[in-house]
Structure 1
Amino acid sequence: MMTPQVSAMRIARELQSLENDIDALIAKAGALAGQVATARVDGGYPAATGHRAILKLLSATQKAGEIRSDLVRAHEDLRHIAETADFPTACPPQAVDQDAPLRVAS
């Protein structure tokens, strides 16, 4: 059985890894959408070519952003639990307004 401190350290490590992975996913999905759009323009194809694929990639990127928001909120909840249990944490203070609605940046 793990001590609470060891559990907390493992959770922190896995959470940070997951946060990094979702950021990498967002970057890769956005880059891929950009590559598809650039290939269409460079190839001289009509705007309708690849349109659905680009929209699907953008939708996937938006969903990844929503997942990221949930992860940030979970991180805040876990930080609060750690502080309540008097475990040291290197987490920054609340980084997101938990009541703010999710929206796509324009």
Structure 2
Amino acid sequence: MSYNVAQMRIVRELREAEKALDDALLRQSSLLSAMVQARKDTGAAPFTGQEALMRLSKSHQTLVSAGGDLARVHSNLLSVQQDVLGFEECPPEGKPMATGESAPASMKLAG
């Protein structure tokens, strides 16, 4: 497999993982909102479903933490890209970074 193909696959999967994490955070936020709104709209006691809310909040925090870990993965992959291909900027959406003449002038290797 060429470096460009490998890079395109990694970039695609990384972006999908980042998007999925954002989607999960948004869905959990919507769920939390719906749970609190339902409690309010039904006139339920103030602490009805409190344990479920606390568990959802903990799950949400875990996703936020996972986002930090995924950001570190992204950073580490940029370092790998620098070591293997000689530059460390994210490739444009859907395109691999090329080496040598095809790389943007700001990223061409000296020499």
TM exceeds 0.5? Answer: yes
C-alpha contact 2:79 2:88 (8 A) present in aligned 1: no
- Aligned residues: percent identity? 30
Q: Provide Cα deviations, 1:32-68, integer angstroms capped at 9, x if missing partner.
A: 0111011101111111201111111111111011111
Larger Rg: 2
TM-score, length basis structure 1: 0.78
- Larger RCO: 1 or 2 (CA < 8 Å, sep 6+): 2
Once superposed, which parts of structure 1, at least 4 consecutive aligned residues long, lie more than 4 Å away? 87-90
Task: Supply the distance in 2 between the matched residues of 1:89 and 1:46 (Cα, whole angstroms).
Answer: 55
| 1:5 equivalent in alignment to 2:4 | yes
- Structure 2: 5+ residue runs without aligned partners? 92-111
Q: State the aligned residue count.
A: 91
Which residue is 1:49 aligned to? 48
Q: Secondary structure at the match of 2:46?
A: coil
CA distance in 2, matches of 1:27, 1:90: 28
TM-score, length-scaled by structure 2: 0.75
Residue 88 (structure 1) shift:
5.9
- 1:1-80 maps to which residues of 2 (within 5 A)? 2-80=1-79
**Per-residue CA distance 1:14-43 (angstroms, 9 max, x = gap):** 000000000000110011011101110111
State the distance in 1 between where 2:4 and 2:87 align: 9
> What is the CA–CA distance in structure 2 between the aligned matches of 1:43 and 1:13, rounded to whole Å?
44
Partner letter of residue 28 of structure 1?
R
